[in-house]
Amino acid sequence: MGVAQRLGVRRWLVAGSIAVILLSVTLPAAWIEAAYSRGIFPWLQSAVVSVTGWVPWPLTFTVLALLPIVWPILGWLRWRRGRRLQIGRLRLLVAGSMRVLRVLLYTGAAFLLMWGAGYRRLPIEERWQLRTREVQDEHVYDVSRRLLAILHRDAPADGVALDEARAYAAIAAQERQIVAEREGWTPLLPAHIQHPPAGVLLAMGVYGVCYPFTLEANVDPALPVPFRVAISGHELAHVLGYCGEADANLVSFVAGLRADDALARYCTALSMMRYALLGGDVLQQAALRKSLPRRAQDDFVALAKANGVYRITAAARLQSSLNDAYLKSQGVALGTADYERGFRLFVAAFRQGMLTLPAPFRLPAREPSQKAGPAGK
């Protein structure tokens, strides 16, 4: 390819990247929903996952590991070529700076085109017609007690081997069905969840991550099995186009509790209890904690131990700040607090009959007077 042809391709790439970015940030949410989330993304998702979903190792981690090695080598080769062609240092510096700017531009456009534009689609409350404003603290507490009932009912017996693959498959099948029912298209599921080296994500205070350029769901293998299963469901929801953390939580919660596998339901309810125990009445929290089955208590202890072994406090704090800024830059006003909003979305979905839950667990301690949610759902 000649110089003129390369310049022509570069101009088209730059112009196309700028167009993608401008359209993604300026089009109304209804247009993004129709043209991208229900138009372009389903095709992209199937095409990308059909390739990356079968790779037996974390492809993105491989690229990130090689980048610090390959990038300096490429820079050195370009510098040698410039010296050979007797190109001045200032010109080399300007050319290098422009190259970096183009890479950033292409990366931003690729992020939006491959996945990130989904942040700007119609809110899930509107798409699913969830009446979240009707959700009261008493409804949250009611659902928390129902989760407690699931933990007591579905907790694995001591000494029983946990079939992690089967539990994840049950959740994945439900998420696929949810997308078909609610979004109007059938996604392609990856063959497996990727596992980077143990502790790599936990060191930064992260349990899992979805990479938008490859649509790979990664979960830290150092997590206890119940939390690996639940986080896998959350990251899979991202792969299926639910960009917001609350959206991904909602989808994985509904899918996990609708699953026909007891371990899948237990893992989901256990993970959801992390949010149920975050806020609300102190006495109610204490009653919930005291009533956790022994297996759930042991799993929470195992999670704390994993965090204690791998978590690097400074790295985790930095990651949390960067993630908060990133989410807000994508239009998620709550930032990292959006994770917690997913629990209230779930309560609204339950109250509107999207799934059934067992009757609330009867706590031994005396409870504050409350208005119970719809029994038997």
pLDDT at 188: 96
Q: Average pLDDT in the 153-171 region?
A: 95
- Helices marked H in 245-368: 245-258, 262-276, 282-290, 294-310, 313-329, 338-351
Q: How far is CA 68 from CA 61, 71, 74, 200, in A?
A: 12, 6, 11, 17
The answer on pLDDT for 173 being more than 80 is: yes
pLDDT band at 318 (very low <50, low <70, confident <90, very high): very high
Q: Average pLDDT in the 212-239 region?
A: 97
The pair of structure tokens assigned to 110 is 């690729």
- Helices marked H in 115-159: 124-127, 137-154
- Asked whether the beta carbons of 188 and 46 are under 8 A apart, the reply is yes
pLDDT at 10: 74
Q: Where are the domains of the chain?
A: 3-119, 124-351
What is the average pLDDT value for the chain, to the nearest integer?
89
Question: How far from the centroid of its chain's Cα atoms is residue 368's Cα?
Answer: 35
The pair of structure tokens assigned to 370 is 């409350």
pLDDT at 159: 86
242 or 279: whose pLDDT is higher?
242
Q: Average pLDDT in the 120-141 region?
A: 95
pLDDT in tens, 46-75: 999 999 998 888 887 777 777 778 767 766
pLDDT band at 132 (very low <50, low <70, confident <90, very high): very high
Q: Is 194 helix (H, G, I), strand (E, B) or coil?
A: strand
In angstroms, rounded to a whole number, what is the distance separating the alpha carbons of residues 274 and 9? 51
Q: Average pLDDT in the 222-234 region?
A: 98
In angstroms, rounded to a whole number, what is the distance separating the alpha carbons of residues 367 and 284? 7
HSE at residue 111, side-chain half, CA atoms within 13 A, is 15
pLDDT at 4: 64
Q: Taking the C-alpha atoms of 152, 158, 160 and 162 in order, what is their torsion angle to the nearest 10 degrees? A: 60
pLDDT in tens, 322-371: 999 999 999 999 999 999 999 999 999 999 999 999 999 998 755 444 44
pLDDT at 371: 44
The answer on pLDDT for 374 being more than 60 is: no
The answer on pLDDT for 83 being more than 80 is: no
The answer on pLDDT for 18 being more than 60 is: yes
The answer on pLDDT for 79 being more than 90 is: no
pLDDT in tens, 284-314: 899 999 999 999 999 999 999 999 999 999 9
Q: Average pLDDT in the 150-162 region?
A: 94
pLDDT in tens, 243-292: 999 999 999 999 999 999 999 999 999 999 999 998 778 888 999 999 99
The H helix count followed by the E strand count for the chain is 15, 2
Q: What is the pTM of this model?
A: 0.89
